[in-house]
Structure 1
Amino acid sequence: MTVHDLVAMGRVGVDLYPLQHGVTLDEVRTFEKFLGGTAADVTVAAVRHGRRAALVSATADDAFGRFVHRELLQLGVDDAYVQTITDGPPTPVTFCEMFPPDRFPRWFYRYPTAPDLLITPESLPLQAIREAKAYWSSLTGLSREPSRAAHLAALEERGRRPLTVLDLDYQETFWRDRGRSSDDPRDRARVQAAEALRRATVAVGNLDECELVTGESDPRRAARALLGAGVDLAVVTLGARGVVALTADEEVGVDGFPVTVVNGLGAGDAFGGALVHALLAGWDLERTLHFATVAGALVAGRLECSTAMPTTAEVQALLSDVEVADGAL
């Protein structure tokens, strides 16, 4: 069996992104279709850096499900663990509006649920998850059963192996429970995050997500709280302001990379795939963060997410330009 550099588990679907920007969704005339979903995007990002990556997820037996499988393969991702669920909800579609540089509201059509939230513990490729050099899952997968049990089973199988990454990706719509309207979805997400962080070795999230999980609004305090929750490396992204990362022995912060933003939605996934690549390569933390930050900036300057993921050469070229400019100063 192939040992993958990265196995990621979680969301997959279709992004329908508007070709008219600066207008609301009802005014958009045309859209373009792309592979979407955080876990899928992260695997594509890792492949662009020469890594072998597989996705654990599910689609419906429908046209969009066939599109997902075809795109994964064309982009170099192993789809052997992407199940096809025949008697369930359709493959999800996501729309967004684009108001650069910082407003990109999304509408997730995942009702009443999505195939990727129907993954069961019994259906997991446990050997592939256990033996992968890096494993990636997100908070979204813990939002409801049976996906929650499957994600926790996968983390148990990893046994806190190095590079067991929890993406703190929080989308409130996935946590709303119409049958428990009095419950705060943020409270439920916080409880599940605490459970998963005890099993992960790396946590990654933007400042809002880290504050949700830790209660800390300062990035360094939030990172320290994540270390206290059980991980060995805590990474707090700050958008255009850069990123902060802490281990027990090291604290590193790097500035953001300037870019003309087209669509900010894929930057975090590009950052994630680049982060995995750099950590697998054994780079020091400062080099790792610079590399991942530039990868994220490149995607923020492009329309789509999955197919916009940069290659290592593209990232290194920009890093070299910065080094030359700094040297000239």
Structure 2
Amino acid sequence: MTHIVVLGSTNMDLVTYVAKAPQRGETVTGREFHTIPGGKGANQAIAAARAGATVSMIGAVGNDAFGLRLRDTLEHSGVDTDFLRTVEGPSGTAHIVVDDEGANSIVVIPGANGTVDHLSPGDEGVIASADALLLQLEIPLRAVVLGAQAARRHGIRTVLTPSPAQPLPPELLDTTDLLVANEYEAITLTGRADPREAAAALLEAVPEVVVTLGATGCLCLTRGTEPLVIPAPKVTAVDSTGAGDTFVGTLAVALAEEKPVREALSWAAAAAAISVQRAGASASMPYRPEIDAQFTA
């Protein structure tokens, strides 16, 4: 079975649903509030596990009630948490506002994620056993670089989600095989306003780039081949939180299973389309039979 390792964040998502997100200085009345396990690392781990992979999670939670629930949610989804350490203090949290169009705005408080600034004993060994290592930027950059370098030493494919968007050091770009960014992240990283131009600029730094374009679909550029444009299934979005992580986790599984690139991208787009029709991040992620049904429909 495909083995995916995720080095990244775990957060408790504190989600408020409103008709319209407040402007600066404005107070609005919300409709609902939920606490939902999330974090980009945990989300990608759960997405990959539900898509059919064996998944190991490297990261940290706090010794609080959120930490217990985060660990339990990962394990319930089939994710191995042997490399998820518990540290003193609070777990990470993400404060999310979702409007009636399904759009969101997010503030992340790192908490325990801020302690993941190195590889612990055993981390490199589990990375070496993987088919792919998934990385994001919600933990200290030093650990992301160390993880990518460990993967490169062992010939393991690295998939980087540059979120939250920030300058990427050469030592990380040099050890990234596939970079998956949303439109905002691609534009922020390159200063190019057009997604195609941004993707082309990123391709100068890494060998393969995917830029997700929300309801429009995604764009894939690989050195030496023609660009691929993959449309997204037509659905009515309820909550886009976690859709990008669903896409990445599912895509990593598809590529590790050696699906053709176009098919892998379409399969991942089908998974993301299912997720946006449901509330929450990890709670919205589909299982493999659902993805297959959406993909073949």
* 1:170 aligned residue (164, 170, 181): 164
Alignment match, 2:259: 283
Cα separation, 2, equivalents of 1:120 and 1:155: 13
* 2:36 aligned residue (27, 34, 37): 34
Alignment match, 1:234: 209
* 2:223 aligned residue (248, 253, 260): 248
Cα separation, 2, equivalents of 1:300 and 1:69: 24
Alignment match, 2:142: 149
Stretches (4+) displaced over 6 A = none
Number of equivalent positions: 290
* 1:297 aligned residue (273, 276, 294): 273
Residue 29 of structure 1: CA displacement? 6.0
Please give the residue correspondences for 1:27-176 in structure 2 after superposition, counting only pairs within 5 Å.
27-28=29-30, 30-86=32-88, 88=89, 90-108=90-108, 110=109, 113-123=110-120, 125-141=123-139, 147-159=140-152, 161-170=155-164
* 1:211 aligned residue (180, 183, 187): 187
Cα separation, 2, equivalents of 1:226 and 1:6: 24
Q: TM-score, normalised by structure 2?
A: 0.90
Residue 4 of structure 1: CA displacement? 6.8
Code of the aligned partner of 1:83 = R
Residue 208 of structure 1: CA displacement? 1.5
Cα separation, 2, equivalents of 1:245 and 1:263: 24
RMSD: 2.1
CA contact (8 A) 1:193 1:213 kept: no
Q: Deviation per CA, 1:152-179, whole angstroms, max 9, x where unpaired?
A: 11111111735201111126xxxxxxxx
In proportion to residue count, which structure has more helix? 1
Alignment match, 1:308: 284
Cα separation, 2, equivalents of 1:305 and 1:93: 13
Residue 260 of structure 1: CA displacement? 0.8
Cα separation, 2, equivalents of 1:271 and 1:73: 21
Code of the aligned partner of 2:37 = L
Q: Would the alpha carbon gap of residues 102 and 72 (structure 1) be closer, same or farther in structure 2, given more than 3 Å must change?
A: closer
Cα separation, 2, equivalents of 1:221 and 1:131: 36
Q: Deviation per CA, 1:17-60, whole angstroms, max 9, x where unpaired?
A: 23665576862364222211011011101111110111111111
In proportion to residue count, which structure has more strand? 2
Residue 223 of structure 1: CA displacement? 2.2
CA contact (8 A) 1:234 1:246 kept: yes
CA contact (8 A) 2:2 2:257 kept: no
Structure with more relative contact order (C-alpha pairs < 8 Å, separation 6 or more):
2
Q: Would the alpha carbon gap of residues 252 and 29 (structure 1) be closer, same or farther in structure 2, given more than 3 Å must change?
A: closer
Q: Would the alpha carbon gap of residues 315 and 29 (structure 1) be closer, same or farther in structure 2, given more than 3 Å must change?
A: closer
Q: Would the alpha carbon gap of residues 245 and 227 (structure 1) be closer, same or farther in structure 2, given more than 3 Å must change?
A: same
Residue 13 of structure 1: CA displacement? 1.5
Q: Would the alpha carbon gap of residues 315 and 4 (structure 1) be closer, same or farther in structure 2, given more than 3 Å must change?
A: closer
Alignment match, 1:222: 198
